[in-house]
Structures are given as C-alpha cells and as structure tokens.
Chain A
C-alpha cells in the first residue's frame, strides 16, 4: 500500500488519489483533492459532526478518518444523498433533503450536510424513531443557528412521509 495511489469509491464513483500527503484526513481528500466540498470542516476534532459521511455503511466523522486508511472503501457523502435517496422516486432531492427545506431546518447551512447524513443513517436503521432517539442520534452534530427544533421537525416529516408511502425506507 505504501506510496501507491489511494483508491476510493465515492458516491459510486471510483477515484485514484495519487498526491495525498501523509496524515491527510478523508475530509481533506474529499474537499481539496476530489472537489467534493459538501462535507464541512468546522472543528476537525470529531466534536461537531459537520464532516459526517458513511464509510462502508458506517457513519463516521471524515475528519478523523486517515485517508490512507480508507483505501478501497466505499464512501457516501452529502453529494451522493440525492442520487441514492431521490433515485427511487425520481425526485431531485432525497426526502430528508426536501424535508429540511420544507421544515425550515436550514439557516446558515454549514451543519446541514452532516446532519442530513446522520439522519439518513438513523432512518435507515430506525424508520420511526421517537424524539429522544432522534436527539441522541444527532447529538454529535452541532448546529448553532436553529436550536434543533426545525431539524427535529424535518425528521418527523420524513418518518411520516415514509409511513404514508407504506415503506420503511
């Protein structure tokens, strides 16, 4: 693995990263080397959740993933949510994204990508979580603008929408 190009699959697309320096995080590689700036860099110490992505179906802070350690992994970022979640219905946005807009969960928007990833992950596991479960599931995602009220409303909106659709995600 030494000194070889780093292979990553991001949102279904294969990438070869050949110029990363030692110690670069997955977040840095996504943002600065692959041009996928949707994952955000608010703290780079795992305390805000803005950089949340899925690596091989595990929800993690990409700032704390050594890029080299993610070699061969499949990564899903906020840029991949729409194709993943919207494809089934033909919509441009995944239902979680649409719910954020409809419920007023977006203000400055810096925490939004990480929260979308965390909520998408939660609803995959628990389609109809109660409020305390939601609060714990997003407790690693800091939001400074909203006070979380509209974000919780968005989760409820998605859960209700999926119930009405008769599916469980």
Chain B
C-alpha cells in the first residue's frame, strides 16, 4: 500500500438506508478491520522507504559530555544520524509549555529520553547503528521523590513546580463547628500506562520542496502540526499531517512522540522514513497517568450532611510538563466528587521529577481523586453509622447546585438517578464452580472455601471538553454533489466510532446513506481539536451537524427558488427531495446541480480560567457515572477476581447503543486494570516492567461481565442531539468500586491502587507470614 491508501476512508456503503441517530449503525471501517485490510500507522509502507530508530538515555538523570555519531554513520545502510544539533527550529515542544527537547541538549531528565535518531535500510541496521553511537553520559542523582521536588534544586529552567492550585470555597472555618464527624485518609495511585495495542508509528515523506507529509497515528492533527513545524523551522503549511489508522490512544497520543524525528530524518535523507516503536520503547515513548498521593479530610454533620472537604493532592508530572497543569486542574476541581460540599480547601500541586513524564490518560485527573473521595465517602458513612448509598444520595449534586469551584450546574446532572439505578440493580453473580473462575485463575490456587466476596459502589464525576477558557473549536465541511454528501473533518478516529457517528448525523440531517468521509488531514480543513476529554461527539459531531444543516439549508433554498416555493415546505427524506409543488421527489443526485458546500466552526459555550482561589466557571458540562463491583478475594494469597461490574451512566442521549456499550465495557476494563494489576513500576527513575510480559493488562479471564443498569438519558442543553461524551466516565468510577469491594471483602484499608497481592496477604505484617489459615 502507499501513503495515499493510508487514510481512513469510508466510501464503501454500509447498510441499506440512511443511518439514523439512536440506531446501532454499523462501523464504516468495520469490514477492512476484520479482513486485515485496514491500514494502521504501523502498516504504512513505501517502496523507497528507510527505517527510523531512536537512541534513548539509559539514565534518568545525566549530563551529556559528548555524542559521536561517526561510528554509526560508517555502517553500510545507514543514511542519517541526527542529534539536537540537527534540529533547525525550536529545540523544544510541548502541548501546554514547550519544555521538552526534541532531542536531548546537554542533559537528560528521564530514562528513555531521546538523544539521537537514525535512518537506515533495515530495522536490524537501525539497531546496529543505535548501538554504535557513542554518548558520554555523566550520571547525576535523579530527583525521584515528588515530595521533595518542590524544595529540591530545579532540574529544568522552568522549575520543579509545574502548577499549584489553591482552591478555597465557602466558609473556611466551617469545620470548626462543634459536633462534626470527621474522617481522614491518605491515598495513593500508581502510574498507569494507556497500553494501546498499536505502537507509535508513522511515515514521513519529503515533498521535494522542503516540506514534508507525515502520516501518523495521533489524537490531534493540528496541534501536532504546529509543534512539528516550529521544531522544523518551517511554515505550518509546509507540514501536512494526515491521520493513519490508530490502534487505540487513551491519551497517550496527545503529545508528540516520533513526529518531529520522522520529519527530520525524511528531510535530511530525502527519502520516506518509517518508524514504529517496539513495545518496550512505547513505555518510554509516551506519557503515563500521573501517580498521585492524596490526603483527605471530610467533615459532616451527624445526620450525614457534608460540611467541608480538605485535600492535598500531589501529582508527579515526571520530567516534562505535558498536560500536567490541566490534569491537576481536573483533579482539583473534582476532588470532592459529585457531592454538595459547601466548604472546601484543596491544594493541588503538580511537580517535575526525573521520573517518566506523565500527562493525558482517559479520566484525566479525575480517576485519581475518585479513588480517594470514594474511599473517604465509605469511611465517612461507616463513621456516621450510615448506609453508604444513603450518604451518597443525601449529598448528591443536582442541577442548580454549586461545585467547589463556585460554578453552578446549569445543565443536566442525574447523580441520584445513576446512583439508585446502579445500587438497585439485581446482581447476576454466582459463586464460581470452576477453579479457573476463582482468584488465581489458571494457576488453580484457590478452592471454594479460600474465597471471600465483597461488594462496593462508587460514583465518578468529571467535566466534558476542554476547560479554563481554552478556545475549543472544531471545523467541518459538508459538500453535497452528485447525490453524495462529502464530509471533511480533522477529528481523529481512535476506535471510538466517530466515523460511524458522521454517517448517522448525515443520515439524520440530509436523509442520505451516500456519505464520504474524507481522510483527516491538516491540509484540508481546520482543527477539530483533540480526540480526548470526551469532547468529539459534542465538538466535531456538532460541527458536522452544523455543516450538514447549513448545506441542507442552501440546497433547499436553491431548490425553492427554482421551483417557486418556500424552503420550509421542502424536506430531504431517504435521499430524496419532498414537498416540491410539482409533486416530484427527485433524488439528491438529481436535485443538486452545482455542488453545495458549507464549512462551519463549532464552539461550545465559553469558559474562564480558575481564579487565585480556584474559583470560576471553568467548565462547560459535567457527567456522572456509577459502578458497583463484586469481587472474590483470596485473602491468604492476596489474589482477586472481579466477578461482576454493574454500571449506570449519565449519557445525555444515546446516539449509537452498540458503540456506547463498547465504551462502557472497555472503559471499565481499564479501571479494573488500575485497581488490581496495572502499574508502571519505577525504581530510582527506572522503569522495571516496560513490556507486556510484566506490565499486565486484563485478559478475558480478568474482565468480568459488565451489567448496564441504566443509561440515564437527560438531554444536555447546548449539546448536539443532547448527547454527553461517554468515553471517560467508565474508567473513573470503576477503579474506586473495585478497590472498595476488595476492602469490603478483606476488611483491610488498602489505600493504594493497584492493590498488590502482598497488600492483602501481608496486610498488617512487617513481611512475616500471617497466622496460619484454617485448613
């Protein structure tokens, strides 16, 4: 295949009639994905291409005294070896702050930081060349403890504190009232990896005129382009980025990885260059979910009314800023969960260390605080002698209430509805009969009487779309010609099903199944923003809807003039124009002579940055979710089997039930993983488990069935079709629910996820074996 074949095209017809909103419309990319024909970024190929590779620092902190590329260049088949000296434009890039070197300049700040890149004729030659580059490292003491980062000497010119937010809301003396019940806890979340299956990969093709075309799997084409162009020292129009097939993203593709490197190599060699990270390299090549340490104190009246929440949040951003500032804002704003909290003080801090850089991952800051605030709610209920569901219901946020940021909820927020639906849903869980179905699975470690069962419920809460005044827009174009609606958008399909939604929107607005979705490229349309923050259905779905409506309006206006009638009397139904005075109903193809074209930019309601007290209308919309987990635990071995997850979610409106179910199940699986097995183990700044052998994600024997108790449909004002983004919520409350269920089963505190076997089996010991089991 050639680069022109790489983009996601959906020209093939799927289904008989126009797709509609609310239907199980089929994926237009489904057939190529099941036949193996779909071109992922790692499948790109060009007859003349070279292979690229990256030399990475083995040290988490070191000065670089010299780099000698000559031995690598001397190897037959090696075409280029580049270092920071070969970066013609900006030496640094970054999503929010350009603080990350394209290639290390004199110093490395994390293990795996790119130092040099190579282009050669075969992957094996690339490996040999990378080994031949001589780098003089002078290792320095890495800064690895986020607790001391703030006061330690800065490891970067921008300092070690990436952001601090000191949120103060309501009466700061509220907790001094007598008679309050208070609970306190310290919680910790480990570093999670997005672990998408399709490795970072791309193909850069020089255009012969000094510019470059980059085909890459990413989440946000235009912001990639802007960063790449700046580093290449080129006008943005000389860098064109086209989406290649994306094998999952989950936040890990929001930052640049190999983008600039590939373009540098292609421009230097004058040849197309392909690069594809290996799995271990992928662990070094993208940001992770922030590890977090969180202290909380909740105060409530004896009746169970929350009075005040205090929290200190410390997020380890690793070596470079990435999206740490925005992640921290989310963690801070949603630190109290979906509850009415009249008084709050939250101090959130994101620091820089020599640990792996952290940034976006599904849930974006809300996952960490959800784990903590839900543990606190359980603890508070117990201290009050109250039922845990009742405590949550009593304090549940509702439209019209005010968040701890001072923002009033003006849209929908069915907290009580999702809570009651989830809590009241009957469980289908039965005791496992087969040893394989017990904790320990294939290892056959547990008999029936070794198992205890636990159950817990958690609520998750997060914003939708970008916040704090960010100019969050999406552009789309609709062209109707020859009966075909051609849609152009730079919205990135990562698997979520935007390509399906486009057909449904076109079907709904234009009444036709003849839809072409053009490849997503910076060359053809303005930015769609990132496929993240649960925003694309609202933002780019909305843009496509508006573009289709504008094109429809123009078409009907034109027909109305021709036929001497009013546009309001005309309609488009099943690919035909109806309502013409002559009683004819021409097809869309017959009705459109000259093409009709409309291009629109869609924006959501404006937001404002948080003020000095962390207050302000910083967010557009909110969503809530509930999970109830039932787990079987083998307390003596500390092994866990999640038996069942039940969920209810605030969805606004369901646009495609089948795709929605996939989001709910898949998102929950990532939450289960964080609860019981997923952690990038970092020791003195070094990743110990950069492989799928040792970074474990759930298999089919680990993931339980997901029971959907309710998809609560309360259309969101201002949202296209009333739909809320649904991608992140399933990941937020699932971890907290599973961890709570393990606590319920074992009676242990378990303040950290992932819960490791030794956390359970050796709980309360100093490492000595616990008392003998009753055999």
Contact = CB atoms under 8 A, between A and B. Distances in A.
A adjacent to B, CB under 8 Å: yes
Interface of B: 1, 24, 26-27, 29-31, 33-40, 42-43, 45, 122-124, 194-199, 245-250, 276, 278-279, 434, 436-437, 442, 494-497, 658-659, 661-662, 665-670, 691-693, 697-701, 703, 705-706
Contacts of A106: 27, 30, 33-34
Given A38-B35, A45-B279, A79-B36, A108 B197 contact: yes
A23 to B, nearest CB: 7
Contacts of B495: 107-109, 145
Interface stretch (A2-10, A64-72, A136-144, A159-167): A136-144
B196 A144 contact: yes
Interface in A80-133: 81-82, 92-93, 97-98, 100-104, 106-113, 116, 132
Contact of B34 (A48, A116, A139, A140): A116
A87 to B, nearest CB: 14
Contacts of A92: 31
B496 A39 contact: no
Which of B27, B245, B497, B700 has most chain A Cβ within 10 Å? B700
B693 A45 contact: yes
A147 B40 contact: no
B46 to A, nearest CB: 12
A104 B656 CA distance: 11
A124 B200 CA distance: 35
A41 interface: yes
Interface of B is mostly: loop
A108 B700 contact: no
Contact of B250 (A39, A44, A47, A144): A144
Given A45-B692, A48-B692, A107-B495, A145 B36 contact: no
Contact of A132 (B40, B437, B665): B437
A111 B436 contact: no
A40 B197 contact: yes
A146 interface: yes
A148 B662 CA distance: 9
Interface in A25-68: 28, 31-32, 35-45, 47-48, 50
Contact of B36 (A38, A147, A149, A152): A38
Nearest to A39: B36
Given A101-B34, A144-B195, A108 B494 contact: yes
B27 A50 contact: no
B437 A78 contact: no
A93 B198 CA distance: 24
19 contacts: A42-B197, A43-B279, A45-B691, A45-B692, A45-B693, A47-B691, A48-B197, A79-B37, A93-B35, A103-B658, A104-B658, A104-B661, A107-B248, A110-B196, A110-B247, A146-B669, A147-B706, A150-B661, A151-B700
B33 A109 contact: yes
B122 A21 contact: yes
Contact of B665 (A36, A45, A47, A146): A146
Contacts of A113: 34, 36
A134 interface: yes
Given A47-B691, A108-B196, A139-B701, A38 B37 contact: yes
Given A139-B701, A146-B662, A149-B665, A110 B197 contact: yes
Nearest to A112: B33
A141 B37 CA distance: 19
Contact of A101 (B30, B124, B279, B703): B30
Complex A-B, nearest 3 residue pairs according to Cβ-Cβ distance, in ascending order: A38-B36, A108-B495, A109-B33
A139 B29 contact: no
Nearest to B274: A32
B424 to A, nearest CB: 22
Nearest to B697: A142
Contacts of A15: none
Contact of A78 (B36, B276, B698, B699): B36
Given A40-B42, A41-B42, A132-B434, A148 B700 contact: yes
Nearest to B246: A108
Given A139-B700, A147-B706, A151-B700, A42 B36 contact: no
Given A43-B691, A101-B26, A144 B34 contact: no
Given A108-B494, A109-B29, 11 more contacts: A48-B197, A98-B34, A100-B30, A101-B27, A103-B658, A108-B198, A110-B197, A132-B436, A140-B699, A144-B196, A145-B248
Nearest to B247: A110
Nearest to B29: A109
Nearest to A47: B692
A42 B26 contact: no
Contact of A142 (B659, B661, B699): B699
A77 B434 CA distance: 33
Given A45-B693, A147-B706, A108 B36 contact: no
Contacts of A81: 35
B42 A147 contact: no
A61 to B, nearest CB: 12
B703 A93 contact: no
A143 to B, nearest CB: 7
Given A23-B124, A43-B692, A106-B30, A144 B697 contact: yes
